[in-house]
Amino acid sequence: MVEIISGEKGKGKTKYLLDKVNADIKNVDGSIVYIDKNTKHMYELDSKIRLINMGDYPIESTDEFLGFLSGVLSQNSDIQEVFLDSFLTVSYINDNDGFSKALSKLNKICDMFEVKFVLSVSKNEKDLPADAKSKIIVSL
C-alpha cells in the first residue's frame, strides 16, 4: 500500500510524517525505515526506526533510487513500513509522468515485499496525477 501526504513546501508535511512514523513504530511487529535527504530530523525519530540519509549514496536517477529501495527491502525481510520524506527530491522525480511511473513501481514493490510506503510529496493535491489522488491520506 502506498499512502501520500501532499502539500506545498512549508505546510507541515514532515512534522505530520514524523508524528506518524513515531506512532506507527508502537504498532508494528517488524521494522520501519525512514528515508530522507539528510539527517536533520534524526533526533526526532524513535530509536527503533532506521534512518537512511540519501545524501550518503551516489544515487542520480529515479531508476537508481527504486533499485536502491528494492535492495534495502531485500536485505531485511522484517521491514513493514518505509517512510519517504521529500519523496520527489530523493527519488529524482521532476514531472507527473515520472511520478506515475514511480508510483506504479512502488505498488509492485508493495505487493512483492508486503510493505507499506508513506510518501511526503511537495505538491498540492490538485497538481498530482490522477493515479496518485486516491492514495492521499492528508493534503496540507
CA distance linking residue 117 with residue 78, whole number of Å? 14
Kindly state the cell numbers that stand for 42: 534524526
pLDDT band at 41 (very low <50, low <70, confident <90, very high): confident
For the entire predicted model, the pTM comes to 0.93
Percent over 90 (pLDDT), the chain: 87
User: Which residue is listed with cell 501520500?
Assistant: 4
Contact of 111 with 76, CB cutoff 8 Å: no
What total of structural domains would you count in the chain?
Answer: 1
Q: State CA 31 to chain mean position distance.
A: 15
100-110 tens-digit pLDDT? 999 999 999 99
In the predicted structure, residue 10 carries a pLDDT above the cut 90: no
The CATH code of the domain that includes 26 is 3.40.50.300
Q: Is pLDDT above 90 for 42?
A: no
- What pLDDT shows up at residue 49? 96
**Residue ranges making up the domain that contains 9:** 2-139
